[in-house]
Every structure is written in C-alpha cells, then in structure tokens.
Amino acid sequence: KAKKLYPDAHFIDISRLFVSYIDSVGMDDFEEYYMEYENATDQVFKNDNDVNLFKLIINEIKTASDNNKIPFIVKTGVLFGTGIVNQHIMDDSVVLSLKQPVVFFYPAKYDNDELLFLNFKPASKYRCKLVK
C-alpha cells in the first residue's frame, strides 16, 4: 500500500541488503566470522570493515536522499539478531543530516503500553513519531 501511496519514494529492502552483504563476503567466510562472534553479532553486521550490513543500509539512505526521495525502510525483521536497531540508524551522521524523514516499517508489539522494536526491544521515541 505504501508503494501505491508514495510511488516516488525510495524503498530500501533490508532482506535484499542482507543477502547482498553475505554474497559480498562469501557464505563460507561469513559463517566462519559469524561463529567467531556469535555472542557479539553487532561485530559481524556493524563494524569497521569496508563492507557490512549497517553501511549498506546507510548508503541506501544516502542514495535516496541524494535523489531527493524519502527512504522507506522495509523488511526490517531481518535485523533481528544482528545487533542493529532503529536507534543506530537514526543516530548515524548521514541520517542526522537528511532534509526529509526516514520511514521504518518494522514488526512490533505493545507490551504494557510500550512499543517493542522487532517485538523484543523498547522502540526509541527519540526523534521518532509512531504512525499506526
């Protein structure tokens, strides 16, 4: 429905970026790296390496901005277990400098009147507006 309502938006499919990231590293190297850091998965997906999932997401947001498009981030359930949360994306310098909003679609639930990002972590209310 969002694609119909916002045909000029830039839709960023996190699941495709996830596959792209693993393809760029290679499945065998990814598996080895993941097993080495399985207790600190943020080191696998958000690190100082030239290529990582977090940088791919930020680069897509920058591409949208450079083309004067609103970035809509979809299929974010893939982020579960990566250590990347919406707050990390919102606090990145690229996102902080945007002239337009970033729209996140993500699985969530309410628990005691608190919205949970990906159904497990309290969603950030900082610089965010919940649209139901």
Cα–Cα dist 122/108, whole Å: 9
pLDDT band, residue 119 (cuts 50/70/90): low
103 has a pLDDT exceeding 80: yes
Mean pLDDT lowest among 32-41, 74-83, 107-116: 107-116
pTM recorded for the entire structure: 0.83
Q: Are 53 and 84 in contact (CB under 8 A)?
A: yes
Pairing of strands 103-104, 114-117: unpaired
Place of tokens 């080191």: 43
**Model pLDDT, residue 64:** 95
**Model pLDDT, residue 124:** 60
The torsion angles phi and psi of 9, rounded to 5 degrees, stand at -75, 165
**Model pLDDT, residue 60:** 96
Pairing of strands 108-111, 71-74: unpaired
Instruction: For 52-78, write each residue's pLDDT tens digit.
Output: 999 999 999 999 999 999 999 998 888
Q: Are 106 and 99 in contact (CB under 8 A)?
A: no
129 has a pLDDT exceeding 80: no
Query: Reduced to 3 states, what is the DSSP secondary structure of residue 106?
Result: coil
Instruction: Please provide the average confidence, as pLDDT, over all residues in the chain.
Output: 84
The torsion angles phi and psi of 49, rounded to 5 degrees, stand at -65, 155
Question: 113 pairs with which residues across the strands?
Answer: none
**Model pLDDT, residue 54:** 94
